[in-house]
Structure 1
Amino acid sequence: MLLAFGNFTADPSVNLQLLIGGLALGAIYAVVALGFVLVYKSTDVLNLAHGEFLMLGAYFALTFLISENLNFFLGVFVLLLVMLVFGLLVHYGIMRRMVGQGFFAIVLITLGIATIIRALLLIFYGPTERARLDLLPQGSFEVGGATVRHVDLIIFAVVAGCVLLFFLFFKYTRLGLHMRAVADDIEAAAAMGIDPDKVYAMTWAAAMVMAGVGGLLFGHVTGAIDRSIEAIGLRAFPAAVVGGLTSLGGSIVGGLVVGVIEQFANGHLGTKWREPVAFSVMFVVLLVRPTGLWGRKDLERV
């Protein structure tokens, strides 16, 4: 039996479809939030340019995979390599000089980076929106009366694979262990011979690669690729906060939770409620637990 109140419906097939779409959207939020949290956890930098990094990844994907018509796997490799190099340039060209500076000065620097990226994209690509990427299968199939898109399942699988590789890298590689050590205690890590500067550089590179993956995937679900994609960084911010700005695993769960909440708000209440509902959830979590659901509370001796 179908129950309705306004746009709300208890139809299981509709809710299943919203759930699947929400998990796919949440997976993109998760990979964006992962890069956001990685930078904050390792360098104590609140990177407000991460939405622009995602937008940069989407435009580069459009360039390499559509304009240059590269083989899909070669194009993805080039995309991620360019994003990695760009991350190194951000560290060595800008952020390295800001080490030891005040928190707000560094935040303003990231806003400056965001402004520069937006300006460069406007110069090289112009103000006209571009068609979305359609390289992944666009078909669908029925499950319990719900329409499941192939692209949603692929996005979820790709993000799951990337997250698994990411955590294996952190747990079993030498550089990953160094990054964890610096994030936990930079003085102790330096005393053990770990170079924090190298770790910071690889942190920015890894975050940029994550943004490249997010831009590539989001380019398949957005209506068009344009400079409004930067807003996805703002929409992924609640995911990072809900999970905890110091918890990499929390950013994944937070991304999925926010994605599902947004999709249900969009389906039952309308598009205009997507962001207010997501940010309301963030505010509630902050009121109950200021460090996020899985964030770590740092103790300071006074």
Structure 2
Amino acid sequence: MREPSSRTSIITGCQGETPLNWELLFQLLLNGLIVGTLYGVVAMCFVLIYKSTQVVNFAQGEFLLIGAWVCWSLLIHLQLPFILGFLFTLVFMMAFGILLQVVVLRPMIGEPIISVIMVTIGLSIFMRALVNWVFGQSAEAFPPIFETNVVSILGLNVQTAYLMSFGVSILIMVGFYYFFRFSRYGLAMRATAFNQQVAQSLGISVKRVFALAWAISAMVSALAGVVMGMVNGVSSALSFIGIKVFPAVILGGLDSIVGAVAGGLIIGLLENGAEFVDGQFLHWGNMLTVVPFWVLILILVIKPYGLFGTKTIERV
């Protein structure tokens, strides 16, 4: 089993190296579209926590890693059916997110933001080390889930797991929209994001909103981790996805759910377009990895609030 890496390639059967290989280009763009939806889902988790707590969670990638390992353990050691193991994983990660917020983050309420951010960085390092200690650092493969691993769409071959993830990602995006627009807790979360003191004066439990935000973030990130683990195997390299998604968050706007989705799709398409240019013409060998961070630097210089972010004006 090969070691997973930040290159989340989902397309098989196209290794052409000739210039202007249109089949390869279309497959890579389809790759970027599907992976971009996963990036968008993880980016929404970043935005969800930031809008609710004003904290950037640098342990987001570890949520993917832990979710993938938990699901793998349920399938391998307990021999659970995939659907049951997957659902148990989501429930476990929701409880884990609540526990993490209550035990670690809640005592930090009122502390300087930089202190809370450093706590999330410390959590990232601690959780990664703990997972490596428990499960080891070698990559492990998921058991066969689907009867057919590859599906042909208009002549393009796509991993079945990513087709499943594409559909689930769309459902999650629609669910986020209705959650924030119509549900009681969604409206409470929007009010808390706008002004915590005003929300508390209206009878909204800010602590409960914080816990809910971390629970949803952990659960949805675990979903992305399971899907990527099904294709590339499970190892500590999955946690790097959290850092890769950060440019998408900045591109879309740190406080915009719509921006998170748009940023994820743009980054997914850009990095796979860069892979095509690199493989066909430049031959530098690392364009897919570095292009998202080039975009991050460019956006911070030109439009630091992102495409859909709210521009903050401070008057002294």
Q: Pick closer, same or farther for the CA change 1:175–1:8 going to 2, 3 Å.
A: farther
Q: Pick closer, same or farther for the CA change 1:232–1:12 going to 2, 3 Å.
A: same
1:287 and 2:298 equivalent?
no
Match of 2:190 in 1: 180
Q: Report 1:30-41 matches (<5 A).
A: 30-41=40-51
Where 2:230 maps in the other structure, the secondary structure is: coil
Distance in 2 (alpha carbons) for counterparts of 1:133 and 1:231: 23
Match of 1:138 in 2: 149
Give the conservation status (yes or no) of the 8 Å contact 2:161–2:227.
no
Match of 1:193 in 2: 203
Distance in 1 (alpha carbons) for counterparts of 2:164 and 2:19: 27
Match of 2:282 in 1: none
TM-superposition CA deviations, 1:233-285 (whole Å, max 9, x none): 11111111111100011101111110111112223314511121111122222
1:10 and 2:24 equivalent?
no
TM-superposition CA deviations, 1:64-109 (whole Å, max 9, x none): 2333221222111110110000001111101000011112211111
Question: By how many angstroms is 1:8 displaced?
Answer: 7.8
Q: Report 1:190-229 matches (<5 A).
A: 190-222=200-232, 224-229=233-238
Match of 1:59 in 2: 69
Where 2:157 maps in the other structure, the secondary structure is: strand
The 10-residue stretch of structure 1 (285-294 or 131-140) with the greater mean CA deviation from structure 2: 131-140
Distance in 2 (alpha carbons) for counterparts of 1:78 and 1:34: 22
2:261 paired residue among 236, 252, 265: 252
1:272 and 2:271 equivalent?
no
Letter in 2 for 1:247: S
Question: By how many angstroms is 1:161 displaced?
Answer: 0.9
Q: Report 1:142-181 matches (<5 A).
A: 142-143=153-154, 145-181=155-191
TM-superposition CA deviations, 1:216-243 (whole Å, max 9, x none): 1111232x21111111111111111111
TM-score (norm 1): 0.92
Distance in 1 (alpha carbons) for counterparts of 2:200 and 2:29: 45
Identity %: 34
The 10-residue stretch of structure 1 (262-271 or 153-162) with the greater mean CA deviation from structure 2: 262-271
Distance in 2 (alpha carbons) for counterparts of 1:206 and 1:142: 32
Letter in 1 for 2:278: L
CA RMSD in angstroms comes to 1.8
Distance in 2 (alpha carbons) for counterparts of 1:199 and 1:100: 16
Distance in 2 (alpha carbons) for counterparts of 1:93 and 1:259: 35
Distance in 2 (alpha carbons) for counterparts of 1:262 and 1:276: 8
1:83 paired residue among 93, 97, 100: 93
Give the conservation status (yes or no) of the 8 Å contact 1:129–1:225.
yes
Distance in 2 (alpha carbons) for counterparts of 1:95 and 1:8: 53
TM-superposition CA deviations, 1:181-205 (whole Å, max 9, x none): 1011212211111111110010110
Q: Pick closer, same or farther for the CA change 1:207–1:133 going to 2, 3 Å.
A: farther
Give the conservation status (yes or no) of the 8 Å contact 2:159–2:231.
no
Distance in 1 (alpha carbons) for counterparts of 2:82 and 2:181: 30
Distance in 2 (alpha carbons) for counterparts of 1:23 and 1:112: 33
Where 1:28 maps in the other structure, the secondary structure is: helix
Match of 2:104 in 1: 94
Match of 2:60 in 1: 50
Question: By how many angstroms is 1:150 displaced?
Answer: 3.2
Distance in 2 (alpha carbons) for counterparts of 1:138 and 1:100: 49
Question: Matched residue pairs, number?
Answer: 295
Question: By how many angstroms is 1:58 displaced?
Answer: 1.1
- Contiguous gaps of at least 5 residues in structure 2: 1-16, 280-284
Distance in 2 (alpha carbons) for counterparts of 1:34 and 1:109: 21
Question: By how many angstroms is 1:294 displaced?
Answer: 0.5
